[in-house]
Every structure is written in C-alpha cells, then in structure tokens.
Amino acid sequence: MTRMLVTGGAGFIGSNFVHHTLKHHPAYEIRVLDSLTYAGYRESLTPAGDAIEFVEGDICDADLVERLMAGTDVVVHFAAESHVDRSLHDPEPFIRSNIMGTFTLLEAARRHDVRFHHISTDEVFGDLPLDSDDKFTEETPYNPSSPYSASKASSDTLVRAWVRSFGLRATLSNCANNYGPFQHVEKFIPRQITNVLVGDRPKLYGDGVNVREWTHVDDHNAAVHLIISGGRIGDTYLIGSGDERSNKDILETTLELMYQERDAYDRVPDRPGHDLRYANDSTKIRTELGWVPEYGDLRAGLAQTIDWYRHNEWWWKAQKEGTEATYALLGR
Ligand code: NAD
Ligand code: DAU
C-alpha cells in the first residue's frame, strides 16, 4: 500500500478526491489532515466511513506535520483558504495557511523525501481580455490580482524553489474553476442553486460578463492522479475543460434547469478588482498524460450538481444562513 496524506481533505475538492481515490485507486492508504475551518466539513467524508484515517489539525503545526510526514509516501496538498471575496475582506488567514502552511509541509516533506503534489489555481496568472482567444499556458508569467491568488502564487513559487534547491520530488497543477458536490455555498454555482432552493433570488456580480472555465471536480481529480503517477518531477500541468462561460450564462442556465424564469435574479455590486476571464491551455496534460475530461457537457454536469444540492440539504443547510449574513455585510 502507498501511504497518501491528503491535506484539506474535508474541503470541496479534497473530499471529492478522497472518494475518487477510494473508488478508482484502492491501493492507496489514505490519511486526511484538515483543521476544519469554516470551509471544512467532517461530514463530507462520511461516505468514506472508516476506510480512511482523519486527523484534525493545522498544516502550520510543524510538530504534527513532522509526525505525519514520517509515515507518508505521497502528499496531495489541497489545504488552503480558497475564497477570493473573503481574502478581500480579511487577507491574514490566506497568508498564514496558504504560504506558511505550504512552507511547513515542504520542509517536512524534504526531510522525509516524500513525493509532493501541490494543488493550485489558474488565478495565479491574473486575467485575460474578454474578447480574445488567448489562454494561459505553463509558461505564462504570474500576475495575481487578489490576496487569495497572490498567496497561491507565493505557495507555487515555494514549491518550485524546493524542487530546484533541495531536490524535492514535487509536481504542481493549476486548475480552472471547479463545480460539483460538497462545494461550499459561498461559491458561485452552489450559492445560486441554494438561493433558489431556499426561495431567495440569485445574485450576479456586476453585469455578469466575467468568464470562467468550468471543470467538473471529478475531472480535476482524475487529472491529479495522472500527474501523481506519470507527471514529470518539477513540472507544472494546467487543467481545464475548455468550456468557457460567462457568469450570466451559467446563472441563466441554472435558473432554466431549476424551472425558474431566466431573469429571476438580482444584480449586486461587483467584486473589487474582479478578474475578467480565465482560460487554461491544457494541451500538455492531454497529450503527455492522456487526460480527457469525462464531463464534456456542462449542462448535464450542472443538472447533476443541482440534483445533488436538492437531495443533500442536510449537508448545506447549516452553512447557508451564516454565508448570506457575511455577504450582506459585504453588500453582495
Ligand atoms: P475549500 O475551501 O472547499 O477547502 C479547503 C480545505 O482546507 C477545508 O477543508 C479547510 O478546512 C482546509 N484548511 C484550510 N486551512 C487549513 C489549515 N491551515 N490546516 C489544515 N487544513 C486547512 O477549497 P477547495 O475549493 O476545495 O480548494 C482546494 C484547493 O484547490 C485549494 O488549494 C485551491 O486553491 C485549489 N483550487 C480550487 C479551485 C476551485 O474552483 N475551487 C480551482 C483550482 C484550484
Ligand atoms: O479559477 C479557480 C478559482 O475558482 C479557485 O482558485 C478559487 O478557489 C475558487 O473559489 C474560484 O474562484 P472564483 O472567484 O472564480 O469563484 P467564485 O465561485 O467566487 O466566483 C465565480 C464567478 O462568479 C466570479 O466571476 C464571481 C461571480 N460571482 C460569485 C458569487 C459568489 C457572482 O456573480 N455572484 C456570486 O454570488
């Protein structure tokens, strides 16, 4: 058995990664390290039962990380503060968890010669013009816009430095926007779905022209496994479905799929510094590692996600009120 440490495994992508791994890669023995911030839910791992070990703890806790790393063959590092709006309101936790947390893991991983995969985001590259066919590539210079993306950019450069200077066996991936089950209701798609489900109107920032490349979380996690098993040490891989949509388009499609009028939403003040468009050129992972996204049809993936929120109110109901109270303070 290969001993895998999954940081942030009680969050959205991390919990889906655990379920994906148990189903498709049973040779891994999984241990999750997660401090259960407002975004971490032990319940997201309920379907895994006792097939995994769960450790509640902080990636900044050097003693704990040192002990866990001693019994680990491969780390998949998802843990992070992940929400742009929160980072604009209170950047400190982002600097701490995303930068200091990654540093703490890297130091322990190099002491124990542990294989390291770092999960990152397309937001490190900044944004692209709305009306162009430009895409980010593995060579695009970093140009982050928000405290969140700046903290992720910092963590990426730390990983690259540990590869070059200390010979750490690490790879990196920068994925586009994910959607799917177990995503916190603060994020765009689940916020709108759950607004409809509780009888509130969805909220669109500004005029909704901003474009994101929506990738199903299972496709992201399948890509991560390909990198862990076949990726070149020191390399970065961009991941993205290729399906670019404006926020307005996503919202109107969601409303249609939920049998609402397509214009049944409110426009709210825009996010400061709002990135216009993200788009990844994922040719490298497709050609070198054979990654093919299975969720080719975003409408079908969205319908499946709506269904999941409809049937899993037990999971999201408790988050909803506090999340909307925070948005009300931000005026969004
Ligand atoms: P999330 O906010 O849903 O989950 C983050 C998890 O990390 C939570 O369980 C939280 O409790 C845990 N965590 C935070 N700080 C911690 C700390 N100091 N110690 C231990 N655990 C801690 O985030 P997500 O959307 O699942 O994102 C996971 C990773 O993927 C992040 O690194 C993010 O930058 C990256 N990413 C996300 C997306 C996306 O669309 N959501 C896209 C590309 C990359
Ligand atoms: O691109 C990858 C990134 O995608 C990840 O690194 C981040 O962790 C993840 O949160 C996500 O960042 P975004 O800022 O793109 O996602 P968010 O869900 O917050 O918003 C998506 C778009 O929808 C964005 O243009 C803002 C807009 N939006 C968001 C919310 C919450 C709205 O119009 N209304 C809303 O209520």
Work out the average pLDDT over 74-79: 99
Type and span of the H or E element at 150: helix 147-166
Supply the residue whose CA is at minimum distance from atom 28 of ligand 2: 188
Tell me the β-bridge partners of 203.
266
What's this model's pTM, rounded to 2 decimal places?
A: 0.98
| 285: in domain | no
pLDDT of residue 330 exceeding 90: no
How many residues are there in the chain?
Answer: 332
The ligand 2 atom at the shortest distance from the C-alpha of residue 83 is: 10
Determine the Cα–Cα distance for residues 160 and 95; give it in Å rounded to an integer: 18
- CATH assignment of the domain containing 141: 3.40.50.720
| 299: in domain | no
- Work out whether the CA dihedral 45, 46, 49, 53 comes out positive or negative: positive
pLDDT of residue 30 exceeding 90: yes
| 293: in domain | no
Give the residue numbers spanning the domain of 144. Answer: 2-178+215-239
Q: What is the pLDDT of residues 173-231, one digit of tens each?
A: 999 999 999 999 999 999 999 999 999 999 999 999 999 999 999 999 999 999 999 99
Q: How many domains does the chain have?
A: 1
Residues 6+ apart with CB under 8 A from 159: 102, 106, 116, 118, 168, 170, 172
The ligand 2 atom at the shortest distance from the C-alpha of residue 121 is: 6
Q: What is the pLDDT of residues 301-318, one digit of tens each?
A: 999 999 999 999 999 999
CB atoms within 10 A of CB 276: 15
pLDDT above 70: percentage of residues in the chain: 100
| 104: in domain | yes
Residues 6+ apart with CB under 8 A from 60: 96, 97, 100, 101, 104
pLDDT of residue 147 exceeding 90: yes
Single-letter amino acid code for the residue at 239: I
Q: Determine the distance separating the centroid of ligand 1 and the alpha carbon of 1, expressed in angstroms.
A: 26
- For ligand 1, whether the C-beta of 94 sits within 6 Å is no
Tell me the β-bridge partners of 116.
75, 170
Residue 153: pLDDT band (50, 70, 90) is very high
User: What's residue 132's pLDDT?
Assistant: 93
Residue 234: pLDDT band (50, 70, 90) is very high
Work out the average pLDDT over 55-73: 98
